[in-house]
Structure 1
Amino acid sequence: MKVFGFAGWSGSGKTTLIEKLIPQFTRRGLRVSIIKHAHHGFDIDKPGKDSWRHREAGATRVLMLSDDRWVLMHELRGQPEPTLEEQLALLAPSDLVLIEGYKAAPVPKIEIHRPAVGKAPLWPDNPHVVAVASDEAIACPLPLLPLNHVEAIADFILDYVSAKETP
């Protein structure tokens, strides 16, 4: 399983880029999974639904399934957030896992940098950034990828993970 990440400030376009990359990879026959790290709480459940009521009653895990999909919700209930390695183990069998967030994780990543966002680039202080995708030409010693050229970004990622070992 190959792992590749995306980092950037809020509003830079990480989610949009990943959304465009997934079809590029699946057309090439890859099974793609995603880890999206949120810095704040979130809930995919709805108050009043059976699964929500079970969680509210104290269940640690609630697994819901149908003939279309299944989802496992796990309440941490004060336990530490699982490590990235623990989360990756849950995603087998996948050919490629794309990670959004986890800026400091030792995973190769592309920084999505838009000067219009008004934030300093991450790459000077992050040794795990191996390329930058931007909507403008910027001075950068790393490979600079045009943000709107999704096929070129997909090619870069596949070439990179083929040449390097990732966790």
Structure 2
Amino acid sequence: MNKTGFEAFFKEKYSQAYFLALRILHDDEASKDVVADAFELVWRRTQQEKIENISSYLMMSVRNVCLDYIRKQNVRSHYVQASVQATEQLVHNPDQWDVREERIQAIMGSLDELTPRTRQILKLCYVERKKYREVAVELQISESAVKKHIMQALSYMRQKFRTRKFY
């Protein structure tokens, strides 16, 4: 499908896709984002191959992107809830501050044991919250190399802390 044809398809199907997303998510802004992502997926797919029923494919994509969005929100909600619970425990049990500080010191010490490149990649991904792709571009390495460094570092940390009792 060419660009002009896709623009016409976009104008014709946007509201239908938006209302499907809104019905699933009950959130105006999230629905707009989801529909934009779905149209992007459809555009990319049409550049790779011919889709028989593009309208059905769009609606299926909207539904799938909505489900992915809900899953991500559930994960975020879980981490927020865990963080709130941990904070409440610290507030109600000041002795936990010492344990927490000990954990932080142990983690920081183990970071020094990593290679400089791996430590740099961990910092960029976890402290500066950069995506693997951004780190790869910045360091002029492949995205798979970034993943490899992260996996090695996390494996090392798990192995190191498996024997320590922090809980």
Q: Normalized against structure 1, the TM-score is what?
A: 0.27
Structure with the greater relative contact order (CA < 8 A, sep ≥ 6): 1 or 2?
1
TM-score normalised to structure 2 length: 0.27
The structure with more strand, counted as a fraction of residues: 1
If each structure's helix is expressed as a fraction of its own residues, which one has the higher value?
2
